[in-house]
Chains A and B, each alone.
Chain A
Amino acid sequence: MNALTYPHSIDSDGLSERSLLDVSGVTLQYKTRRHLVTATYRVDFQVFQAERYVLLGPSGCGKSSLLKAVGGFLQPVEGAIRLNGHTVTRPGPDRMMVFQEFDQLPPWKTVKENVMFPLLASGKARRREAEEKALDCIARVNLTKFADVHPHMLSGGMKQRVAIARAMAMEPDILLMDEPFAALDALTRRKMQEELLQLWDDLRFTVLFVTHSIEEALVVGSRILVLSPHPGQVKAEINCDGYDHGAVGGAEFQALANRIHTMLFAEDVEGSGKGPSA
């Protein structure tokens, strides 16, 4: 059960210098046709090397907006996002994104070409090297047989695997996943979560993962940022390393799940931003 242990213990001193991603005081706003909507308000968090950091919250808590801001698709109106000490200003291949939607793969490229595309586009690898890397990553997500197939021939789960392989091949500083398994059926989702954990166990990449499912957060994550909605504000940060699917339903797991549920649920009822501290 505890195959996924935390790589290093953390002490609370001098952490900010070693953090990979530093989000400080970030307020995000976006305009609809009539309103200026504040998605998040002064959110702070830090992500460290090899962490599986989960942004968890109900819809409207700005977790996806936060991820997009880290991706560079959205500029904060207040605060700053730093990756390796550099402020994020625009999208770039050092932060590869895996989206929820299945149409994230260009349909005119085969699986292999899709994985090679960002490698070539960013000039990170030459054609032969890119091909080797692509085939290696495709093998890691168990799609070797489908390397020369176009995405429309694949199932939803397979498309998400390609997207993960594509992101992996780039060896980004941080992997951004925006509810990548939300559009999958429950059985496939579970399998994909296990595969992601297995991949992480092999490669020890850093991932920032957005979800609205408490169970998924606990299984996939090593640390969870709980956000409250309208606008998104930090509610808690929780360690949850070492839970896999075998732990689901266990007493400890349930207690933690209930604790998070209470936080989110209390928020929902009161709508005032002061739920009971658990």
Chain B
Amino acid sequence: MTDLSFSPRPLPRGGFSGGRREPPLRPEYERTVTATGPIGDVARPLSPWERLSNVTALRRLLVLAAVAALWQAAAVWQNNPLMFPTFTDTMAALWDGIRRDGLLSMAWTSLSVLLKGYAVAVVLAVLLTTVAVSTRIGNDLLSTLTSMFNPLPAIALLPIAMLWFGLGEVSLIFVLVHAVLWPLALNTHAGFTSVSETLRMAGRNYGLGNLRYVVTLLIPAAFPAILTGLKVGWAFAWRTLIAAELVFGVSSGKGGLGWFIFQNRNELYIDKVFAGLVTVILIGLLVENVVFRWIEVHTVRKWGMVR
């Protein structure tokens, strides 16, 4: 049954029978390499069209234009300006809002609160993760805290924040810190733990102390993950802030973007509501594609850590 005998029978190989098939013996030769002249250019410049299509900003603008066109078409087809204003109406309302309702200063009010909360959260996240990589109990602290608070929506803390800190900026900053701190700390810590052992040993070989080790070695080495954390934190902060302002209304006499949206909805200026939403989106696009992109190009891309 089993045919595993080692009988030396010749295997049929490509119709050739009679022992091992040897490769043919072929003559050797040497050549002098041709100069590149007759071959032509070794490198050829790309055509203008190829170069144009390599510009990321241009491709993304194209996507935006397509979305705007789709919106316009859908709104015209719906023909219900109260519920769904067209793209052009929204742009007109946006322009009007900037000129007469002080939309820009409202956007700045929101942004300045946002930046304060974001900055506090970044500092806290760095401190927390530094403790977490230096000591084992710090590590336990961080993983327990993030698993406790990361799923907790920041808005759910707003009632308590209002009770504690009143109807002011401090309450907003409190919820913002909560929104940014945990995802950022989680990402930073994940980045720290994925730094290669060789690089760690190289750093310790230099005799770097704890804090300098984190600042000069771990943070740059974990920067791709930290950057992701910063982006996620930024998005969470924006959402939380706009939502909080919708609930909050005016804080300290100056309303933000959320307030602009809320107020105009109450007065049924739906095109202005859309204008407010578009402002939020535009700021988001700007920060992602200009600020974060700039950071990315000058750090992790330049270092070859991401493609």
Contacts and interface: CB of A to CB of B under 8 A. Distances in A.
A91 B206 CA distance: 8
Contacts of A36: none
A96 B205 CA distance: 7
A107 B303 CA distance: 5
Contacts of B201: 71, 73, 91, 97, 99, 104
B204 A106 contact: no
Contact of B198 (A103, A121, A151, A153): A103
B304 A91 contact: no
Given A97-B202, A106-B199, A150 B302 contact: yes
Interface in A118-170: 118, 121-122, 150-153
B302 A104 contact: no
B217 interface: yes
A103 B206 contact: no
Interface in B163-202: 196, 198-199, 201-202
A195 interface: no
Contacts of B305: 107-108, 152
A121 B199 contact: no
A99 B198 contact: yes
Contacts of A99: 198, 201-202
Interface string B268-307: 0000000000000000000000000000000100111100
Interface in A150-202: 150-153
Nearest to B220: A108
What range describes how many residues of B lie at the interface? 20 to 34
A103 B199 contact: yes
A173 to B, nearest CB: 13
B302 A121 contact: no
A133 to B, nearest CB: 15
What range describes how many residues of A lie at the interface? 20 to 34
A133 B199 CA distance: 22
A185 to B, nearest CB: 20
Contact of B217 (A71, A93, A106, A152): A106
B219 to A, nearest CB: 10
Contacts of B247: none
A108 B223 contact: yes
Given A107-B305, A108-B223, A151-B304, A121 B202 contact: no
A108 B205 contact: no
A44 interface: no
A101 interface: yes
A105 B302 CA distance: 15
A92 interface: yes
A117 interface: yes
Given A108-B223, A121-B216, A153 B304 contact: yes
B304 A152 contact: yes
B204 A73 contact: yes
A32 B223 CA distance: 30
Nearest to A176: B205
B221 interface: yes
A122 B202 CA distance: 13
Contacts of B207: 91-93, 121-122
B202 A104 contact: yes
Interface of B: 196, 198-199, 201-202, 204-208, 212, 216-217, 220-221, 223, 299, 302-305
Given A97-B205, A103-B196, A104-B198, 19 more contacts: A71-B201, A71-B205, A91-B201, A91-B207, A92-B205, A93-B206, A99-B198, A101-B196, A104-B199, A104-B201, A105-B202, A106-B217, A107-B305, A108-B223, A108-B299, A117-B216, A121-B206, A122-B207, A152-B305
7 nearest A-B residue pairs (beta carbon): A152-B304, A121-B206, A118-B206, A107-B303, A101-B198, A108-B220, A91-B204
18 contacts: A71-B205, A73-B201, A92-B205, A93-B205, A93-B206, A93-B207, A96-B205, A104-B201, A105-B202, A106-B220, A108-B220, A108-B305, A117-B206, A121-B207, A121-B208, A122-B206, A150-B303, A152-B303
